[in-house]
Structure 1
């Protein structure tokens, strides 16, 4: 990896769950500063911690919070008197999930709705890739809102002209226009640069090598990473030669070959595979507490068995697995598109994680892709793991996702910056 510096919930059920999982005071705080300090402390005890660090998974452990950050992690921790204590016996805590690839709405009101919906499903941070024409994402990034995921933004992505398709990205036809587009985004304060290299089934001109090479060089000169929407193997090879930092999709037209792997060895990238539907009938009843029955029925009807879809999935699964075994940093990204009809699926992280396991990755590797690896790629030093000093962003699960990745869906509670997210109703 190249490092560039710099809907309907049942309210009663929810309340009963909160009571069963609630905080209770233990001991009495001393007067003065000691009491004040203890009042900030919260301890989750007797819990399984998937730390996403070299400590691995810790059984019968304690997670001790000091306000909005993690103070201690491990077994045998002495909880100070006066701290609030939660007995999480039988539960598993994992870091909050990080979605490195989504497209959010542009008005502040709609954006906050997106981010609150994501938080309900355990997402603590999301990267909006390339359709941010307003300042809302920048404003909310700089002033996060309680109960909502945090956001990073690539501003307006860069592509060749796609007349009649999408006007949010910046269209370029020359290297200089590409450099200008990067400068414009950097002036806005973007976190990374997004490009599209795809002719959309021969419907539009493709961003070619001179254009994307200029964009990548200018971005690196401005200390920004470049993530590329890619489809064809030939384009992926060219992007590797140009020094791209990440693929926002896997290669989708054919199996990757030895030449690609040689280029990958010379120019490591981060991969967000963003796997397609598996072409199998799927049970969505796990969404029932939060999603209307009519919407669940639509989802299940759209997931019928499809041989062509299965073949498309299998191709990308093979490519993912080959890159994963090579040592490529794999991150989670869903391409969830809140701003497009039918794209409003804040639970997509759970589908994507299950798809990655179906592709051949282990549940642990998938959890790492959704937490530590994603934070590393997005250069977020304060989240992605359960470790002292990290932001208290985590998900409490009823089941162990290392036994079954679909246990990421058994959410008992979500905490962001040390505060519980209200999951009683999906915004």
Structure 2
């Protein structure tokens, strides 16, 4: 067990502890950051859980990690006994949305400071520390992104600003009560470049493109337009992510230089040429399997829907819908449910093939885009779905932590290691043994501060 911990930890720990204990020229105790020692838990290291371990926090950072008993506990440190527990890094959500939903409704009027901070707090309660709101963000997004940086009351807010879509195309503004959807709808390559320059200047973390015609039902962003947008994003040091559904569109945007496929391919099995192109170009693949499953799953009413972990995430109005027998019958009998089941099966098949081939897998759910895509819970369900596609629990968890941190360029998040931000989830059970154990949340630590357990709705 001990050999899994880096040999350099011991030397680093000595330096940290001498600093924490102070000397004649050190800052006064009141000015020093607090030191907290988390003792006795197993630790997920990105590949497996090891331990029991000692994890030392100083302020908002992790300062040392080592086998239990191998590190000296600093004098005056707060010691928290987590024997029998498991520590994992906070989850990092590379594809979600905020400020669109309230209860069972969607609309631009819900993009408010109050609603978004409430949603970010709910994500945090479920162990999600970073949310990348991938499009459909009006100007308030830029303000909140700046103001909420470094806070401890909710998940960090990253995002893609409004995003770019085809005129009269996706996203479906009218169907979501987003007539004032703020999405830029360029008709020319130069208009696309100008839009990307504007977003980059205001502050975005990614550029979002909608490239999907819904089987010819709406206009699709033209290749010359999305190629210009992708190129301009790269000129500003930004990655570009594409909403796709079909393999044909996925192949086209990969060839055009896209960095991230923000959804899985769901119309047909992927082929070897596509897999090779994804690997060669290093494109990230975010499957969002739960996106389609949510269109029928809750009408089936699996037993876990009666458990507190699920119910605490669900708005009362949405819960009433889920409990309505007529809604359940109509949903399960609908054509939409049948299509969604097919999409889930293909998505799982394609995720299995891409994972086995070594394509880079990110973590996203599209939660917050529609009422049934439930922030907080959707992320834990997505982890379970990823294991159904053949990923081991450890591999799914790595996609949701270290790998998604890499996708978003977050160099100090996604791992439990010296120097990393102390965003930690304390679990009662080991998720490497069963991925559903991520639902056994005992406590959440945010930037070195313990936050309270799950709130009631």
TM-score interval for Structure 1 and Structure 2 normalised by the shorter chain: 0.7 to 0.9
Residue by residue over 1:218-268, the C-alpha shift from the partner in whole angstroms, topping out at 9 and shown as x without a partner, is 111111100110111111111111110000001111111122123223322
Deviates most, 273-282 or 175-184? 273-282
Q: Deviations over 1:379-424 (max 9, x none)?
A: 0011100010111001000111111111101000011111112235
Matches within 5 A, 1:45-124: 45-52=39-46, 56-75=48-67, 76-105=70-99, 106-124=111-129
Distance in 1, Cα, partners of 2:81 & 2:431: 20
What is the CA–CA distance in structure 2 between the aligned matches of 1:171 and 1:156, rounded to whole Å?
A: 10
After TM superposition, the structure 1 = structure 2 runs for residues 243-258 of structure 1, keeping only pairs within 5 Å, are 243-258=257-272
Question: How is 1:369-384 mapped onto 2 (pairs within 5 angstroms)?
Answer: 369-384=399-414
Of residues 377, 396, 404, the one that matches 2:426 is 396
- Deviation of residue 200 (structure 1)? 2.4
Query: Are the aligned partners of 2:142 and 2:202 in contact in 1 as well (CA < 8 Å)?
Result: no
2-structure distance, mates of 1:344, 1:289:
11
TM-superposed CA distance for 1:180, in Å, is 1.1
Asked if 1:230 is matched to 2:244, the reply is yes
In the alignment, which residue of structure 1 is the partner of 2:375?
Answer: 345
In structure 2, the residue matched to 1:25 is: none
The answer on 1:174 being equivalent to 2:188 is: yes
SS in 1 for 2:293: coil
1:114 counterpart SS class: helix
RMSD: 2.6
Aligned residue for 2:341?
310
TM-score (norm 1): 0.86
Instruction: After TM superposition, give the deviation of residue 63 of structure 1 in Å.
Output: 1.0
Where is the helix percentage greater, Structure 1 or Structure 2?
2
Does the Cα contact within 8 Å between 1:98 and 1:370 map onto a contact in 2?
yes
More off after superposition, 299-308 vs 132-141: 299-308
> CA–CA distance in 2 between the matches of 1:229 and 1:215?
14
Task: Judge which range, 353-362 or 31-40, deviates more.
Answer: 31-40
Tell me which residue corresponds to 1:412: 442
Superposed counterparts of 1:297-336, under 5 Å = 298-299=321-322, 309-336=340-367
Contact 1:141 1:150 in 2 (8 A): no
Q: Which runs of 5+ in 2 are unaligned?
A: 1-20, 100-110
Count of paired positions: 397
Tell me, in whole angstroms, the C-alpha distance in 2 between the residues paired with 1:362 and 1:372: 15
Q: Contact conserved, 1:39 with 1:84, CA < 8 A, in 2?
A: no
Q: Which runs of 5+ in 1 are unaligned?
A: 1-28
The within-5 A match list for 1:198-209 is: 198-209=212-223
- Give 1:290's aligned residue: 312
Q: 1:292 to 1:390 in 2, by over 3 A?
A: closer
Q: Shift of residue 107 of structure 1?
A: 1.9
